[in-house]
Structure 1
Amino acid sequence: MSGHDHGTAIDESHDHAGGRGHDKGHGHAGHSHGVSADADRRWLAIALGLIGTFMAVEVVIGVVANSLALISDAAHMLTDAVSIVLALIGMRLAARPARGGFTYGLKRAEILSAQANGLTLLLLAVWLAYEAVRRLADPPPVEGGLVVVTALAGILVNIAAAWCISRANRSSLAVEGAYQHILNDLFAFIGTAVAGLIVLTTGFRQADAIATLVVVVLMVKAGYGLVRESGRILLEAAPAHVDPDAVGDRLVGQPPVTEVHDLHIWTITSGQAALSAHVLVEPAGDCHAVRRDLERLLAEEYGITHTTLQVDHVQDALLTVGRAGQETPDAHCAEAHGPVHREGPHDH
C-alpha cells in the first residue's frame, strides 16, 4: 500500500559537520489517520434498517404485481444495503491501529468495499438490462396500482435513508458511495412511480421495462464511478485533482531548491493523500527550513499533509546520484522513478 521509494528516510537525521546538512525526515503536519468521529455508525445502521426492511417488502410486492421495475428497484436497494454494510465493516477495520506488516493499518478496507459494491452494481445492471429488453418484446401484465403505491413508499424511505447517511462522514468513499446510490435509487423510484401511473391509466405495459432501463443506466453510472475511483487508489494513482508534474514544478520553483526527483503522490484512503520526494538544494541552503517551507506549501495549496521529504545539498547528491548521463556504481536510484524537475527549463 505504500508509495514510498527506497530513497526516503524513516526518521530525521541532522548532520551539520563542515557546514553540510541532511534533512531526511517525515513532514507529518496535521496528520489524521483515525476514522473521523463524524462517521457515525448509528446513522448508517438506521439507514440500513430502513433500506433492508423496505427491500424485503418490495421484492414480495414486485413478484405479486409482476413488475420488473419494482424488482429492479429492490435489486438496487440490495446494493445500497450491501454498500452500507461494507462501509460499516470498512470503518471498523480502518479504525484499527497500524501494526506488523500493515504499516498504514487497514485503511484500504473501505476502498475494497467500494470496489466490491461497484462491481455488484455493474453485474446486476447487466442482468436487469437483459430482462428489460426481453419484456419490451413481450410485456407481461403489470399491476399498475401496486407499482405506484410501492414506488411512492420507496421515495419516502429513500429520502429518510439519504438524510441518515448525510449525517455520517461522507469523506469516506464507501459512505459517499452509499449516499450516491440511495440518491440514484430515489430517482429510480420516481421513474417507477411514473411508469406505474402510465400502465394504470393507459395500459402501456412496456413502460415498466422502460423504467427498468432507466434504473440500469443509473446503476451503471454509479458502479463505474465507484470502480474507477477505488481502482485509482488501489493502483497508487495520484488524486484526481492533483497533477504530479505541476507539483514537481511548483516545488522546484521554491528557492533554494535546484532539483526534485523520485516524486510520488498517492492516496492512502479516502481523503488521505501522501507524498514523498528527494529534494536537492543549493550548497548554502538550509535543508531544514526548505523542508518546512515545502511541507507548508503542499498543505496549503494541495491539501497534502502526509509528506516524506528527503532534502540534501546538491554536492552531497552528486557524490551518490551522479551527473546527468553519467553512470555511477552507487547511484541513488538504479532505475528512474518518473520525471526529474530541475531549476530553470524543466526536464520531464
Structure 2
Amino acid sequence: MIVEVIGGLISGSLALIADAGHMVTDFAALAMAWGGFVIAQRPATWRHTFGFDRFSILVAFVNGLTLFAVAGWIVWEAVQRLNAPGSILAGPMLWVAIAGLVVNLVVFAILQGADRDNLNVRGAMLHVLGDLLGSAAAISAALIIMATGWVAVDPILSVLVACLILRSAWFLVRQSAHILLQGAPDGIDTRAVATDLVETIDGLIAVEHVHAWSVTPERHVVTLDAYVGEGQRLGPVSRAIKARLDTEFGIDHATVDVMRRTGLDP
C-alpha cells in the first residue's frame, strides 16, 4: 500500500493510487476481521446469550460500506483526471503495479486455505481480489501508455476497478444485512421445513410458527411449534424433529415446543 501511494504520486497514476486506496480498506477490513474472530471467541453471558459471534457480521457490514466509499472516491477522481489529464510515468507505474500484483497473489493464496463459509473470510478475499484486479488494471494501463502514450486509459481502467469493487461491496452488504435482520438462511425455506417434518415424523400432525435465522453464516437457529395427536408421547417427537433438522437442514440449534392438539384446538 505504501509503495503504491509513493509510486502513484511519483508516476502520476490514478490506477496505482486507487489500488492503494483500496488497500487501505483491506488493511482495515483484515484488522476488523481479526478483531471479530477474537471477540467472537468470548463465551456467552447472561446478557449476550448467543455469545459474540454476531460481531463478525457487523464487521463484514461495515467493510462493505467502506468499499462503497472507496469506489465512489475512485470514480470521482477518475472524472477529474479525464477532464484534466496529466502526464504519467509509465515505467515506475509498471514496476510498482507488478510488485502489488505479486503481493496480492500471495495473500489471496493464503486466504484460499481459510474457512470460505465464514463471511469475514469471504469479505477479506473479495477485498484482496479487488486489489489483485486493481494491480492487473494498473499493469495494463502502464503497458498501453508505454506503447501508445494514451494516458486516459489510466482513469478509465480505474473506473473499471471501481465497478468491480462495487459488486463486492453489494455482495457483502446484502448478505451481512440479511443476517443482521434475522432473515432465513440461504437454502432453508421455512415452508418446506414444516412440510418435511410432518411428512417424515410419525405422530406429527402439524408444524406452525417456524422461525429460522442465522447467528453467523455457519450457525443456524430455528424455533417452531409442533402438534401431535392424543396419546402421542411428546419427548420422542421432539427428539425426532431436532434430529431431522440437523441431518436434513444442517440446523443443530432448535427450540421445539411440542403440544397435543385436541378436538377443541383450531
Whether the TM-score (by the shorter chain) exceeds 0.5 is yes
* 1:290 aligned residue: 237
Deviation at 1:281, TM superposition (A): 1.1
Q: Kindly indicate whether residue 71 of structure 2 is the aligned counterpart of residue 116 of structure 1.
A: no
Deviation at 1:299, TM superposition (A): 1.5
**Deviation sequence 1:19-66 (CA, Å, 0-9, x none):** xxxxxxxxxxxxxxxxxxxxxxxxxxxxxxxxxxxx011111111111
**Structure 1: tracts of 5 or more residues without a match:** 1-54, 324-348
* 2:164 aligned residue: 218
Structure-1-length-normalised TM-score:
0.73
Q: Kindly indicate whether residue 18 of structure 2 is the aligned counterpart of residue 72 of structure 1.
A: yes
* 2:224 aligned residue: 277
* 1:240 aligned residue: 186
Q: Distance in 1 between matches of 2:123 and 2:98?
A: 23
Q: Distance in 2 between matches of 1:164 and 1:78?
A: 19
Q: Kindly indicate whether residue 212 of structure 2 is the aligned counterpart of residue 265 of structure 1.
A: yes
Structure scoring higher RCO (CA < 8 A, sep ≥ 6) equals 1
Q: Distance in 1 between matches of 2:38 and 2:121?
A: 13
Q: Sequence identity, in percent?
A: 36
For 1:60-139, what aligned pairs fall within 5 Å after superposition?
60-139=6-85
* 2:115 aligned residue: 169
* 1:335 aligned residue: none
* 2:93 aligned residue: 147
* 1:187 aligned residue: 133
Aligned pair count reads: 265
* 1:46 aligned residue: none
Q: What amino acid is the match of 1:256? A: G
What RMSD in Å do the two structures reach over aligned CA positions? 1.4
Deviation at 1:306, TM superposition (A): 1.0
Q: What amino acid is the match of 2:62? A: A
Deviation at 1:211, TM superposition (A): 1.2
Structure-2-length-normalised TM-score:
0.95
**Deviation sequence 1:294-340 (CA, Å, 0-9, x none):** 2222122211111111111212xx77xx42xxxxxxxxxxxxxxxxx
Q: What amino acid is the match of 1:284? A: G
Q: Distance in 2 between matches of 1:211 and 1:265?
A: 43
* 1:299 aligned residue: 246
Deviation at 1:137, TM superposition (A): 2.7
Q: Distance in 2 between matches of 1:298 and 1:210?
A: 51
SS of residue matched to 2:53: coil
* Structure possessing the higher radius of gyration over alpha carbons: 1
Q: What amino acid is the match of 2:133? A: F
